[in-house]
């Protein structure tokens, strides 16, 4: 379109319009649009390069804050404490300071369980249906006469020695041990039962006591109680996972659910 000045001149001076003026104007407009497009593309490219540089810089900055050989901190897992437990994953202590410092045991606890000083128990069944982890310090040849039958030296140097001693205890019916694995560690499992005719009140101190933990904790059993032990070789240390399976009247379903806690055991070096 002719400029206003050209139109005015044509109108006042009666001059014929330049036939090339319109073409020159269109050409100028096209060049201006092309320049604008080039500027926009250049801006987009600059923004892309800037974002990439920022991303690389951020990654390098993040890497530079990590010390050589460092690892990502593990997720915090709560330790079993006394009282009712919410379902979930918990760390289980053996109360042996050396083992607990070198390894962490975790279990999956279902609904309806509570924490105790040494493990977890089904609500209302403390001692009868519990799961605990032990590093055994002393074993008694006769759990009812424990004051005079402590084995010397303690048979705690290996899994085989400990299994042999526990299988030979008087007053406990023990099935033949079987080879198993616990979280990839070699282990032996054996079932034990206290006969119905056993009366702990007639035993030393009123306790039917098969062993002591290295921390001095006492393990004692009740009349008719059934236990299953998993004795695990953890880097040369016999770790005992002890599941009390209740006495008469305990359903097979309850026992199976209880054993699932043991089957969830994971043992990790610290």
Tell me how long the chain is: 270
What are the Cα distances from residue 168, in Å, to 27, 34, 190, 243? 107, 96, 12, 19
pLDDT at residue 69 greater than cutoff 50: no
Give Cα 157 to chain centroid, integer Å. 29
The pLDDT of residue 74: 59
Q: Is the per-residue pLDDT at 46 higher than 70?
A: no
End-to-end CA distance of the chain: 83
Q: Where are the domains of the chain?
A: 4-64, 83-269
pLDDT at 247: 77
Give the model's pLDDT for residue 2: 46
Structure confidence at residue 15 as a pLDDT band (50, 70, 90): very low
> Burial code of 207-229, b = ≥16 C-beta within 10 A, e = fewer?
bbbbbbbbeebebbbeebbbbbb
219, 212 in Cβ contact below 8 A? yes
pLDDT-derived band at 51 (thresholds 50, 70, 90) equals very low
pLDDT value of residue 248: 75
Tell me if the pTM is above 0.75: no
Which positions ≥6 away from 44 have C-beta within 8 Å?
A: none
Band of pLDDT at residue 157, cut at 50, 70 and 90: very high
Phi/psi of residue 213, nearest 5 degrees: -80, 165
- Per mean pLDDT, which range of 49-58, 211-220, 259-268 is the poorest? 49-58
Superfamily of domain 83-269: Mog1/PsbP, alpha/beta/alpha sandwich (3.40.1000.10)
- pLDDT-derived band of residue 50, with 50, 70 and 90 as boundaries? very low
The H or E element that residue 100 is part of is helix 97-102
| pLDDT at residue 239 greater than cutoff 60 | yes
Mean pLDDT along residues 249-269 = 92
Predicted confidence at residue 260, as pLDDT, reads 96
Q: What pLDDT, in 10s, does the model give residues 124-144?
A: 887 689 999 999 999 999 999
Q: Which two tokens stand for residue 82?
A: 């006394």
- Closest C-alpha among 188, 186, 198 to residue 163: 188
Q: Is 45 helix (H, G, I), strand (E, B) or coil?
A: helix
Residue 74 has phi, psi (to 5 degrees) of -70, 155
């Amino acid at each position: 379109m002719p400029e206003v000045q050209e139109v005015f001149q044509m109108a006042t001076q009666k001059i014929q319009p330049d036939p090339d003026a319109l073409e020159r104007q269109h050409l100028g407009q096209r060049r201006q649009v092309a320049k604008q497009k080039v500027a926009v593309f250049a801006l987009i490219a600059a923004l892309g390069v800037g974002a990439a540089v920022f991303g690389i810089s951020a990654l390098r900055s993040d890497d530079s804050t990590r010390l050589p050989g460092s690892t990502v901190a593990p997720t915090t897992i709560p330790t079993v404490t006394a009282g009712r437990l919410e379902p979930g994953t918990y760390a289980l202590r053996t109360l042996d300071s050396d083992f607990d410092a070198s390894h962490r045991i975790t279990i999956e606890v279902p609904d309806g369980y509570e924490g105790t000083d040494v493990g977890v128990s089904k609500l209302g069944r403390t001692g009868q249906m519990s799961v605990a982890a032990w590093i055994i310090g002393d074993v008694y040849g006769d759990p009812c006469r424990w004051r005079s039958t402590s084995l010397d030296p303690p048979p705690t140097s290996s899994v085989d020695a400990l299994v042999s001693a526990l299988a030979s205890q008087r007053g406990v019916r023990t099935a033949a041990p079987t080879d198993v694995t616990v979280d990839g560690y070699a282990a032996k499992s054996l079932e034990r039962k206290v006969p119905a005719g056993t009366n702990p009140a007639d035993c030393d101190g009123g306790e039917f006591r098969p062993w002591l933990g290295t921390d001095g904790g006492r393990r004692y059993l009740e009349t008719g109680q059934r236990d299953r032990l998993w004795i695990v070789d953890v880097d040369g240390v016999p770790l005992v996972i002890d599941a009390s399976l209740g006495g008469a009247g305990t359903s097979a379903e309850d026992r199976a659910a209880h054993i699932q806690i043991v089957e969830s055991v994971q043992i990790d070096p610290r």
